[in-house]
Structure 1
Amino acid sequence: MYLLCIVLGLLSILIMCGNLLVITSIIYFRQLHSPTNYLILSLAVADLLVGVLLLPLSIVSVNICGHLQNVICKLRSCLDMILCICSILNLCSISVDRYYAVCQPLKYRTKVNIHVIVIMILVSWTVSALNGITITVLGVNTGKSNKRCVLFRNVSLAIMGIVLGFFLPAIIMSMIYVKILTEAQKQTRSIQNTTCQLTKTERKMERKATKTLAIIMGVFLICWTPFFLSVAFNPLSHYTIPGPLLEAFKWLGWSNSMLNPFVYGFFYSWFRSAFRMILSGKIFQADLTNTKLH
């Protein structure tokens, strides 16, 4: 019990620190004020809330019992659904952003502007909140036999919620990225003979950003697919999946909120520069908002 609390506590701290770096970088440095980065900001906020709210609630839920445990179970499950669905909807929005940036670059600035991005973010959070609250109210129960917090006792609700909230968006995102990567390969071949260095540089940066964000999506799917598959299969198998295995899959999903900042730092040189300036305290010594990040 104590080991579990320590592990969740450390994971919570890592999630908070990593995503605070991402959020601070995007808000502080003007170079990072772009439509794509605003979507990344929304994703980082969802990840941050996993560390700030969800994991502490999980720690509390394993140390109490009775009626309060049932209340915390429902609250934790509601937040879990909201933040997970919000993350995948933000990733869907990012895939749409990348589609226009790579496949229709001439229309990108007119189709994807700040107003459109704000609408995307608001829709993602609103739909997530409505789905999370509805599914939790209809589907959450506290297991009486083992005192575990069990989601989706209703089989049809489980399948509908998981297919619409996770697998369908995941399939759509995958199809979009396949289209994007195919188009990027065509563009690579078409500009090999061009003499316009600016065009080459811009296309190279867009392709790199797209591949990096595709990796973010891939990491998300790797972390969350085992949990959603097990949750969907569990009612069909009369709840034969061991509780510890479900919890392990849940922790794997939560760990995604910790991994995203590392992916940004590893693949984006400008995020690495921003992280270094923040961690070294330079942003508190001078106004570096207009600093050119490399």
Structure 2
Amino acid sequence: MSTNPSPAASEQLCYQNVTGSCAKAPYSPGPRLILYTLFSLAAVLAVFGNLLVVISILHFKQLHSPTNFLIASLACADFLVGVTVMPFSMVRSVEGCWYFGASFCSLHSCFDVAFCYSSLFHLCFISIDRYIAVTEPLVYPTKFTVSVSGTCIGISWILPLVYSGAVFFTGVHDDGLEELVSALSCVGGCRPLINQFWILIDLLLFVTPTFVMMVLYSNIFLVARKQAIKIENIGSKTEASGTYKTRVSKRERKAAKTLGITVVAFLISWLPYMIDSFIDSFGGVVTPSYVYEILCWFAYYNSAVNPLIYALFYPWFRRAVKLIISGQVLKDSSSTISLEHL
């Protein structure tokens, strides 16, 4: 019996005339074009939107603050998702094939996991920053300094990169799953299997910062509500020092609300994927490929959403983007331009 596929079947394989090739996704030209458009849009938004965030914060001196440095570093993680993860995942999702080699599959998975956890750790540190800013607005500048922010940024990058590299480049992620890997593997596939031990570690790394953020933001909004009541009671009788404190409190609460929305968007995007990974690990990969890809892109889109959130809620970001796009940032002393409504 011949091992070569028939011509009709060969058209549906990732690699024609290769024994053990994965089957291509059965999309017709119309749906294929729609999918490429949607996924390309996400990648473009993630790359250029987050690039604008980074340039805005690093260029304009008025935006140089511990919180904004954390936001810029978070944008870097989302930017790298758009550059190193989305384009290759797009081809895998639409074509149903991985054309970039087994080694890059491991690297791609490493980037995917590392940048996800990097974003999560950044958001956790931002929630700590906002908690201090709202509960102690007058002493906050002495507690959360630029050096403290830099330490948080370093942790948010080093730990995820070391963890994901150790898991995927040592091959421990599929220990004990050799039979399942052999049964599901094919030429042109890239869907790494994670054993139960590492899935539990993943969930712990995901749930712990998430729990911290939920507790902190709950307290933030309770404090903000109390402050709002006090401000209403003070009214026009507020003295000069009280007026300053009130202004600071309002600014910090507004920033906390915006970043709280960012946290909620992250959790909504990534939680379905994490739950599905848990189910697959303990249920033997029961999720169909197309559902897996949908959940992946639901998570990837989070990297494109964050700049849109900033554009909606941060007047300084809208102002900075206008200056960047108009080319005014190329002028001398543009870094000292005052961004109104900061």
TM-score by length of 1: 0.92
In the alignment, which residue of structure 2 is the partner of 1:169? Answer: 209
1:21-100 matches, within 5 Å, as: 21-59=52-90, 69-100=101-132
> Which deviates further from its counterpart, 198-207 or 81-90?
198-207
Within 2, Cα distance between the matches of 1:134 and 1:171?
25
User: RMSD over aligned Cα, in angstroms?
Assistant: 2.1
Asked if 2 retains the 8 angstrom alpha-carbon contact of 1:12 and 1:55, the reply is yes
**Which protein is richer in helix relative to its size?**
1
In the alignment, which residue of structure 2 is the partner of 1:149? Answer: 190
Counterpart check, 1:139 vs 2:179 = no
* Runs of 5+ consecutive residues of structure 2 not aligned to the other structure: 1-24, 26-31, 175-180
Q: Relative to 1, partners in 2 of residues 1:191 and 1:65: Cα closer, same or farther, differing over 3 Å?
A: closer
Q: Could you tell me which of 226, 243, 252 is aligned with 1:206?
A: 252
Q: Could you tell me which of 285, 289, 293 is aligned with 1:243?
A: 289
Within 2, Cα distance between the matches of 1:121 and 1:152?
30
Deviations along 1:210-268, whole A, 9 cap, x unmatched?
A: 00000000001111111111011112222111111111111011111111001001001
Within 2, Cα distance between the matches of 1:64 and 1:212?
39
Asked if 2 retains the 8 angstrom alpha-carbon contact of 1:16 and 1:51, the reply is yes
Counterpart check, 1:113 vs 2:145 = yes
SS at match of 1:150: coil
Deviations along 1:264-283, whole A, 9 cap, x unmatched?
A: 01001111111111112222
Identity %: 36
Q: Relative to 1, partners in 2 of residues 1:101 and 1:60: Cα closer, same or farther, differing over 3 Å?
A: same
Deviations along 1:32-82, whole A, 9 cap, x unmatched?
A: 10110000011000000011111233356668768x632122111100011
Compare CA radii of gyration and give the structure with the larger one: 2
Asked if 1 retains the 8 angstrom alpha-carbon contact of 2:91 and 2:98, the reply is no
One-letter amino acid of the counterpart of residue 157, structure 1: W
What is the Cα deviation at residue 197 of structure 1?
2.5
Within 1, Cα distance between the matches of 2:189 and 2:71?
34
Q: Could you tell me which of 270, 279, 282 is aligned with 2:316?
A: 270
One-letter amino acid of the counterpart of residue 263, structure 1: I
Counterpart check, 1:20 vs 2:41 = no
One-letter amino acid of the counterpart of residue 293, structure 1: L
In the alignment, which residue of structure 1 is the partner of 2:229? Answer: 189
Asked if 1 retains the 8 angstrom alpha-carbon contact of 2:137 and 2:249, the reply is no
Within 1, Cα distance between the matches of 2:262 and 2:41?
22
* Runs of 5+ consecutive residues of structure 1 not aligned to the other structure: none
Asked if 2 retains the 8 angstrom alpha-carbon contact of 1:57 and 1:72, the reply is no
Within 2, Cα distance between the matches of 1:145 and 1:288?
55
